[in-house]
């Protein structure tokens, strides 16, 4: 009798542990992925240290792309769970992007100071090829648009510079994955801005329209320089000094002008279209 009772109790507890029976035969048409952003980083560490830090400390990412011969992709956090990669972050008024993003860390040592100044190591082409394949898969499954594939320096320009000026954003644009301004249009507008450069308030408002967290103070302070530098690092990596010049104004104007969508221009130019 005691054995039968214990068996019944075990079955009852097992049923409680699995939760109530749920009917999944219906699905609402009004739904989409919780993931809205994809954020790219460099690790600033070697491969072994990157794996240790991202799996054993209070920082993590969904994926890590190695720099070894096979450029292995590690999945460290399931996509339906939150990874802690973005930190204090903002884009287009949305904050705390850990909850709504997928993070990809790329093994790269980042900048180092030398007698010639600050130097940044390049990314091996094989590593970028693997990244592009991964990003294509993620954005397809989650419906992430090109204006939401971002750098860590986009969402946290006061703290971060990754993935840095050596990261080949244009390759991702050519694959149809990121926002990119029409270069002919940039050149045309640059001439106009060389004749009369907008004031700092104009730059700050345009930077905010693009997505950065920046206030229209009208002053080129350190925070504004950091944001301008983040934009330049992505779209004009040859010079990212944070100085608002005519070329930066033209890039920003094209990126934020609805009548000439840089997203469509970029997609139309992508291979295979």
Residue 245 and residue 262 in one domain: yes
Question: Quick check: is 30 in a domain?
Answer: no
What is d(CA 107, CA 105) in angstroms, rounded to the nearest whole number? 7
User: What's residue 117's pLDDT?
Assistant: 87
What is d(CA 216, CA 149) in angstroms, rounded to the nearest whole number? 25
Query: Residue 245: is its pLDDT beyond 80?
Result: yes
Burial of 179 (0-12, 13-18, 19+ CB in 10 A): buried
The domain that holds 239 is classified in CATH as: 1.10.101.10
Residue 41 and residue 142 in one domain: yes
Residue 135 and residue 60 in one domain: yes
User: What's residue 191's pLDDT?
Assistant: 95
Q: Of the candidates 139, 166, 135, 164, which has an alpha carbon nearest to the alpha carbon of residue 152? A: 164
User: What's residue 81's pLDDT?
Assistant: 97
Q: What angle do CA 185, 239, 103 make, to 5 degrees?
A: 85
Question: Quick check: is 22 in a domain?
Answer: no
Q: What angle do CA 204, 266, 250 make, to 5 degrees?
A: 30
> Known catalytic residue: 268?
no
Residue 133 and residue 208 in one domain: no
Query: Residue 202: is its pLDDT beyond 70?
Result: yes
Residue 167 and residue 133 in one domain: yes
User: What's residue 116's pLDDT?
Assistant: 84
Convert the pLDDT of each residue in 38-90 to its tens digit.
999 999 999 999 999 999 999 999 999 999 989 999 999 999 999 999 999 99
Range of the domain at 202: 183-269
Residue 141 and residue 86 in one domain: yes
Last residue of a domain, one of 174, 201, 235: 174
Query: Residue 13: is its pLDDT beyond 60?
Result: no
Question: Quick check: is 19 in a domain?
Answer: no
Last residue of a domain, one of 174, 207, 236: 174
What is d(CA 269, CA 14) in angstroms, rounded to the nearest whole number? 57
User: Which residue among 79, 105, 174, 183 is the active-site one?
Assistant: 105
Convert the pLDDT of each residue in 96-138 to its tens digit.
999 999 999 999 999 999 888 889 999 999 999 999 999 999 9
Last residue of a domain, one of 118, 150, 174: 174
Where residue 14 falls among pLDDT bands split at 50, 70, 90?
low
């Amino acid at each position: 009798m005691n054995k039968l009772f214990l068996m019944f109790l075990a079955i009852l507890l097992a049923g409680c542990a699995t939760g109530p029976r749920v009917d999944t035969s219906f699905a609402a048409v009004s739904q989409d992925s919780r993931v809205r952003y994809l954020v790219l980083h460099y690790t600033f560490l070697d491969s072994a240290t990157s794996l240790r830090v991202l799996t054993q400390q209070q920082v993590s990412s969904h994926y890590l792309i190695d720099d070894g011969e096979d450029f292995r992709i590690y999945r460290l956090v399931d996509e339906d769970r939150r990874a802690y990669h973005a930190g204090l972050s903002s884009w287009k008024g949305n904050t705390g992007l850990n909850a709504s993003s997928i993070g990809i860390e790329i093994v790269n040592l980042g900048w180092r100071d030398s007698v010639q100044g600050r130097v940044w190591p390049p990314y091996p082409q094989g590593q970028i090829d693997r990244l592009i394949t991964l990003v294509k898969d993620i954005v397809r499954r989650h419906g992430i648009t090109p204006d939401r594939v971002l750098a860590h320096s986009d969402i946290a320009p006061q703290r971060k510079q990754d993935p840095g000026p050596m990261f080949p954003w244009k390759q991702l644009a050519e694959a149809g994955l990121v926002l990119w301004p029409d270069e002919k249009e940039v050149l045309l507008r640059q001439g106009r801005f060389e004749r009369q450069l907008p004031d700092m308030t104009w730059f700050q408002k345009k930077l905010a329209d693009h997505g950065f967290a920046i206030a229209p103070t009208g002053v080129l302070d350190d925070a504004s320089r950091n944001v301008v530098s983040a934009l330049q690092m992505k779209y004009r990596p040859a010079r990212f000094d944070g100085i608002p010049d005519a070329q930066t104004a033209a890039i920003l104007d094209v990126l934020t002008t609805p009548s000439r969508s840089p997203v469509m221009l970029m997609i139309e130019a992508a291979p295979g279209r």
